[in-house]
Chain A
Amino acid sequence: MKNAIKIIASLFLLFVFTASVVNAQKWQAPVSSKKKQNPYEASTRNISSGKKIYNINCKSCHGDAAMGNMLPLQPVAPSDLGSQAFLIQTDGEIYYKVNKGNGAMPTFEKTLSDEDKWMVITYLRSFDQNKKESKKIAEVKNPEVTDVKLLLDINNENKRILANLTGVTAKGDRVALQGIELSVKVKRNFGYLDISGDDAYTNEKGEVSVQFPEDLPGDREGHVNLLAKVTDDAYYGEVIVDRIASLGIPTNPVNPLDERAMWGTRANAPIWIIFSYVGGVICIWGVIFLILFQLIQLPKLAKNKE
């Protein structure tokens, strides 16, 4: 009897498992989609921009590419998009799936531009073991450096932030590092607002110039907490610098409780309503007490025969 239950249970589990596997494998992109080619080259810039888009749109479910830390969703867990099992598909197939979505996978047909989608595919392809030759073609060669420094020069006049990335070569010279992507961010309450723009790669002087948004509020004095870093830690480890700068619009937070309002607390009640209430109560109850006072004088009047 026990065995029978076990067999049934294992059969059931097997069924569920195969069903889910079948289900997972069922999602096949049509043959016609296979041929589509990625029009963008696998440059560092494209991979980096793909990673950004991936982190915003894909990471919350799929986890980090090739890390296997996806959300454990039921009945089908999201695939690891950096795994070989996934990357066996052609670019066209991946493009199709990103566009269409299936079940818990959203459709990105209209929420992401074609370029963005291809950037993500470029990024994912960089994990492909079978296409190693296309991985990270660095456009500029920087010398081996130590003591990498990121300096910020802030121009309050025209609200420009000039970031300068340098390192010390083996010879002991401090040289500019070129073609490295930087991120410049402004601290907000629950996260960092990226203001670096699309093309924040250091030039031959190791510089990136970022325009601070004209109308972005700071604190009461206009101070903002700026943070600049080398986007990819893979190059020089974590290179990060933060700075308080008065680039923001000074804000004067309005305390909604300063005004008297109908919705306010009793302390903030409109004056006229306080007066009406208190006045009304005093008048009516004043008369009532006057009458009560006269009432207790009624017995005295019994002696007055007039």
Chain B
Amino acid sequence: MKEETSNNSRRKFLKSVGLTVGAAGVVSGFSLLGAAKAAAQEPGETVNLLTQDGQLVQVDKNQLRPTVTGPLTELQKRGREGIAGKSFVMVIDLSKCRNARKCMDACQNHHQLRPDQHHINVLQMQDAEHTAPYFMPKPCQHCDNPPCTKVCPVDATFKRQDGIVLIDNERCIGCRFCIAACPYSARIFQWTEPKDAEKYKNLTYNIEANVPQKKGTVSKCLFSADRLRENKLPSCVSSCPNGVYYFGDQNEDAVTNGTTHETVRFSKLIEENAGYTLMPELGTKPRVYYLPPKNRAFEFNGDLLNEENLH
């Protein structure tokens, strides 16, 4: 008999949790008003809400009001400001890359891109005629002297305080000057209706993930800025099966490997492995560092080695 009761209560508890999850989804666009205001009103139905600090609270429905600022403007505002005190860097260990392309898949999935649209692209490189070929994943370099944001006529692409270069597709006029200006070919353009445009039609635009993608605007890698806000590694970093990517905050002098989750000193990693940046002669000051393809984990199995594929 006693056991039954406890069983019952557990079921009840589960039920209420289920309800909470459902409700949290519905009322996310509402805010809590002051308790004083609510006291004046008749107590009505209550709902369970998850507060921002992760606490479950029971709230009177009368206390719920639509938030004053639309979620879009809020997303735009915080997206343009960036995360204070951070300075994100990426380290790509070329000796570990075997062209598995899991990064490309994860990225295209996250940012709603077609298979031929690359925010990150794994290139087969050969620097000179007799040098060894290697695979080089190439995301946006998030330069500290970005040639792309220099030329934007409308502040649609810009650098934030945490070093990330973003694009505001609610403002971009589609002049494609930034594509011409980028020496790393990191930018793409939505020439036609983006992938699954119909499906995501009603989704609020998130500047930090650049989704939903918009026709007639420019798009590019943004270090998965939406994931960084939740202290998650970028999609490409955490999807790599071979430990190619390290990502972290330069201000903390630490980068974390997306595969092994090992955290190492950024400065040591760069120093001990002779890290470099792409085309330093252009003065773009990239935030993506490369470790040379020495002592490789895999043999190169690419198919290039002729002039045509090189350029």
Binding site for B on A (CB under 8 A): 55-57, 59-61, 71, 73, 101, 104, 106-111, 186, 188-194, 213, 215-217, 219-220, 251, 253-257, 261-266
Contact of B233 among A107, A190, A263 (CB under 8 A): A190
Indicate with 1 or 0, residue by residue over B225-243, a CB within 8 angstroms of chain A CB atoms: 0000001110000000111
Residues of A within 8 A of B296 (CB): 107
- Contact between A190 and B264, CB atoms less than 8 A apart: no
CB-defined A-B contacts under 8 Å, sample of 11: A104-B100, A110-B295, A111-B297, A188-B249, A188-B252, A192-B263, A193-B264, A193-B265, A220-B85, A255-B161, A256-B159
- Contact between A265 and B158, CB atoms less than 8 A apart: yes
> Given A111-B95, A263-B145, are A257 and B86 neighbors across the interface (CB < 8 Å)?
no
Among B85-111, those with CB < 8 Å from A are 85-87, 95-96, 98, 100
- Contact between A61 and B263, CB atoms less than 8 A apart: no
- Contact between A263 and B247, CB atoms less than 8 A apart: no
- Interchain nearest-CB distance for B147 vs A (Å): 8
- Contact between A217 and B252, CB atoms less than 8 A apart: yes
Contacts A57-B260, A256-B163 known; 16 new A-B pairs at CB < 8 A: A57-B243, A106-B96, A107-B298, A110-B295, A188-B249, A188-B254, A189-B254, A189-B256, A190-B231, A190-B247, A190-B255, A217-B252, A253-B84, A255-B84, A256-B144, A263-B147
Contact of A71 among B87, B231, B241, B252 (CB under 8 A): B241
- Contact between A191 and B161, CB atoms less than 8 A apart: no
- Contact between B263 and A262, CB atoms less than 8 A apart: no
- Contact between A191 and B261, CB atoms less than 8 A apart: yes
Q: Most chain-B Cβ atoms within 10 A of its Cβ — which of A104, A188, A261, A262? A: A188
The complex places the Cα of A215 from the Cα of B267 at a distance, in Å, of 10
The complex places the Cα of A190 from the Cα of B83 at a distance, in Å, of 14
- Contact between B248 and A190, CB atoms less than 8 A apart: yes
The complex places the Cα of A253 from the Cα of B159 at a distance, in Å, of 16
Residues of B within 8 A of A256 (CB): 144, 159, 161, 163
Residues of B within 8 A of A109 (CB): 295
Q: Is B193 an interface residue (CB 8 A)?
A: no
Residues of A within 8 A of B87 (CB): 253-254
> Given A216-B253, A263-B146, A265-B155, are A106 and B242 neighbors across the interface (CB < 8 Å)?
yes
Q: Is B281 an interface residue (CB 8 A)?
A: no
Q: Which residue of A lies closest to B83 (CB)?
A: A189
Residues of B within 8 A of A71 (CB): 241
Q: Is B262 an interface residue (CB 8 A)?
A: yes
How many contacts between A and B, using CB within 8 angstroms? Answer: 107
Residues of B within 8 A of A261 (CB): 145
Q: Is B160 an interface residue (CB 8 A)?
A: yes
> Given A60-B259, A190-B247, are A106 and B298 neighbors across the interface (CB < 8 Å)?
yes
- Contact between B295 and A111, CB atoms less than 8 A apart: yes
Interface residue count for B (Cβ, 8 Å)? 48
Q: Which residue of B lies closest to A216 (CB)?
A: B253
Q: Which residue of B lies closest to A257 (CB)?
A: B161
Residues of A within 8 A of B10 (CB): none
Contact of B159 among A191, A194, A219, A263 (CB under 8 A): A263
Which 7 pairs, one residue from A and one from B, show the smallest C-beta to C-beta distance? Answer: A106-B297, A110-B295, A188-B254, A190-B256, A191-B263, A191-B256, A60-B259
Q: Most chain-A Cβ atoms within 10 A of its Cβ — which of B147, B158, B232, B253? A: B253
The complex places the Cα of A220 from the Cα of B161 at a distance, in Å, of 16
Q: Is B12 an interface residue (CB 8 A)?
A: no
Contact of B262 among A191, A217, A264 (CB under 8 A): A191
Q: Which residue of A lies closest to B155 (CB)?
A: A265
Among B134-177, those with CB < 8 Å from A are 144-147, 149-150, 155, 158-161, 163
Residues of B within 8 A of A194 (CB): 263
Residues of B within 8 A of A215 (CB): 253
The complex places the Cα of A55 from the Cα of B158 at a distance, in Å, of 39
Residues of B within 8 A of A262 (CB): 150
Residues of A within 8 A of B160 (CB): 257
- Contact between B98 and A264, CB atoms less than 8 A apart: no
The complex places the Cα of A263 from the Cα of B147 at a distance, in Å, of 7
The complex places the Cα of A101 from the Cα of B98 at a distance, in Å, of 12
Q: Which residue of B lies closest to A262 (CB)?
A: B150
Q: Is B251 an interface residue (CB 8 A)?
A: yes
- Interchain nearest-CB distance for A14 vs B (Å): 29
Q: Most chain-A Cβ atoms within 10 A of its Cβ — which of B84, B147, B259? A: B259
- Contact between A55 and B260, CB atoms less than 8 A apart: yes
Residues of B within 8 A of A213 (CB): 265
- Contact between A189 and B261, CB atoms less than 8 A apart: no
The complex places the Cα of A192 from the Cα of B256 at a distance, in Å, of 8
- Interchain nearest-CB distance for A80 vs B (Å): 17
Contact of B297 among A59, A60, A107, A219 (CB under 8 A): A107
